Amino acid sequence: MDFNKELGTAAVFAQAAWIVAGLYFYLTTPGASLLTASAGAYFIGGLFVSAAIFGLAFHGLRRGIASVSPVPADGPAERSSPVFTWVLPVVEAVVIFVAAGWTFEQLETSRAGVPLQYVQQRDDFDYAFKAFEVASRLEEEAKTGRETGQIDSDVETRLVELMEAGVARGGRVSDEFLIYLDPALPQPYRTQLIRGHELLAQGRRSGDVAKQTEGNELVRAFYQDFLPPKADAILAKMGVQPQ
């Protein structure tokens, strides 16, 4: 076979393997998307890099093996090592798949701000805090209304629903992710922040003042005693620039 044609075939094979690996990772990994700049960098940059590195390297390896293999008296040199004709492409595909996986993880981690396995949990964690924050603001509005005798049932219902949604989403977060954010976070997160809002929601629905008081104290302990010295470090781990 013509040398240039061999080289072209090797480059196309490497590029095809890179594209197939990329499609697999981007279509099967939660939080990943083909419509991102990181995906563009993976596919466009990878087409050139895969051809230059893997295509050339394995093409050279294939020719090197052929050149040292015994040549049968009645056949061409490329038929001298039949095993390598199918083993090398398999090895090359595996190597490209591994390299593509590493590249994909680095690009997507950089884009997401957290390791890929934590993207969904980061979103649940963030949702819980935002839901609790909005509920707290609504609580201030509701408190003013109660004091003046003008209770807004829509506000009362909405703030309880937000607390319950925050508890539900926040409860999905694993200890592994919480430890990634801060080794000391799991216990106060679950027993103060989540449990506190759970008690608040239950107390508001049932009119149980004792539960509301206990919930408020747990939430206060989390926000005032535990969180302040750790907030910036936790935000940085989440890929958020502390303000």
Q: How confident is the model at residue 82 (pLDDT cuts 50, 70, 90)?
A: low
DSSP string, 61-100: HHHHHHHHSPPPTTS-GGGS-HHHHHHHHHHHHHHHHHHH
pTM above 0.75, yes or no: no
* % of the chain residues with pLDDT over 90: 55
Written as six digits, the tokens of 240 are 């958020």
Residue 103: its pLDDT value, please? 95
What pLDDT digit, counting tens, does each position of 59-77 carry? 777 777 766 655 555 555 4
> What's the rounded Cα separation, in Å, for the pair 114 and 131?
21
Confirm if 133 and 166 have CB atoms less than 8 A apart. no
Confirm if 156 and 94 have CB atoms less than 8 A apart. no
Cα–Cα distance list, 68 to 31, 64, 65, 169, 206 (Å): 48, 7, 5, 62, 84
pLDDT (mean) for 162-185: 96
> What's the rounded Cα separation, in Å, for the pair 208 and 66?
83
Query: Does position 239 have pLDDT exceeding 60, yes or no?
Result: yes
Query: Does position 49 have pLDDT exceeding 50, yes or no?
Result: yes
Q: How confident is the model at residue 79 (pLDDT cuts 50, 70, 90)?
A: very low
User: For residue 243, what is the enclosing H or E element?
Assistant: none
> What's the rounded Cα separation, in Å, for the pair 151 and 149?
6
Cα–Cα distance list, 171 to 4, 31, 72, 174, 184 (Å): 59, 20, 69, 8, 17
